[in-house]
Structure 1
């Protein structure tokens, strides 16, 4: 994984008002912590940080004056509506050190006919060297038929990485794809349970009225 360098500035103002001023300047308040050191409060350029965090488990070198800190993102707070980064917690790591991270699962390939994929877990927790964290773990479902399952033990991890979850953790479950008739029956049952009634078609209504008049 490539290291991404970001120039930081020491943060001296705190509180909601200071945070708003930082964000208006297109910067992000952040804190660096780890290895028993006191937390380091910094501001980071918002655009650079946003681009860097498009890489899952990005390895960031934070340059602060004459110092530099190798970090990985541990918690990133985003605005729930606009999506911009409000705050970032970055964990200081060392080369060769192993860390526990969640890595997203990427599904590739197409299952067999009449098979439906159910993703039970979209990520998996692994232990890997801080400088060799994979951005994703690929899972091939090519040709899998209904009844097949992919567990954490089936994942192909990069060299030096190990699972940090139970091997039996279910990742992908392959089930039988419902037919159109089954889908319609489930919909009708759900509507009945919800008390939803549909008006009869006009042709049926007309036939009913003629029958009553005669």
Structure 2
């Protein structure tokens, strides 16, 4: 995944009133922290930032007065009603550094006739290089029969990433379709 570039401005005022005025001006208050450095309080452009953080595990290149900061979104605070972003916490990362991320699991394919699949885990935790974060992990259920469950250890991970979730954690359960089981019981 490539990094999103954003230009930020330093902020020197704090508090609810300032944050409200910044949001009214189309900006999002944020803080960049990590690696033992002092936190940097900034304002990010509202629309560009909202678009950039739509992607899970977004990697941002933030320009603060000519100084570039490579950062990951650590937390986003949203208005509970309007769902607009009120504040973002960014964590500094370095190229080559390994970070922990939760990655979505996407199911592809169709199970064998008479079977049904249910997704038990929608995400798995991975360790990956900060500049090569996976956006998802795909798992194929094509032709799988009832009883052929898929565990986290069965997933094919993107290159350079390692599984941190429990390997025995159930990701996809494949069982008999309810109609099939009832039909067999009636005929017995």
Question: Which structure has the larger Rg over C-alpha atoms?
Answer: 1
Q: How does 1:115-126 map to 2 (within 5 A)?
A: 115-126=115-126
Moved more, 133-142 or 75-84: 75-84
User: Hey, what's the Cα distance between the residues in 2 that align with 1:114 and 1:16?
Assistant: 58
Correspondence for 2:41: 41
User: Which has more helix, going by share of residues?
Assistant: 1
TM-score normalised according to structure 1 size: 0.80
After superposition, give the CA deviation of every residue in 1:21-78 in whole Å (9 maximum; x if it has no partner): 1111111111111101111111111111111112221110000012110011111122
In structure 2, do the counterparts of structure 1 residues 21 and 142 end up closer, same or farther at CA, with 3 Å as the change threshold? same
Q: Give the superposed CA RMSD.
A: 1.7
Once the two structures are TM-superposed, the CA of residue 88 in structure 1 deviates from its matched residue by 0.9
- Larger RCO, structures 1/2 (Cα 8 Å, 6+ apart): 2
- What is the TM-score when the length of structure 2 is the normalising length? 0.91
Deviation at 1:80, TM superposition (A): 2.5
1:5: Cα distance to partner?
0.4
1:20-39 aligned within 5 A: 20-39=20-39
Instruction: Please name the residue that 1:139 is paired with.
Output: 139
Give the number of aligned pairs.
182
Equivalent position of 1:67 in the other structure:
67
Q: What CA deviation, in whole Å up to 9, does each residue of 1:113-167 have, x standing for no partner?
A: 2322222111110101000111111111111222221111111112221011221
SS at match of 1:131: coil
Cα displacement (A) at 1:175: 2.2
Question: Which residues in structure 2 correspond to 1:148-187 (within 5 Å)?
Answer: 148-179=148-179
Unaligned segments of structure 2, at least 5 residues: 183-188
Q: Which residue of 2 aligns with 1:58?
A: 58
Query: What is aligned with 2:11?
Result: 11
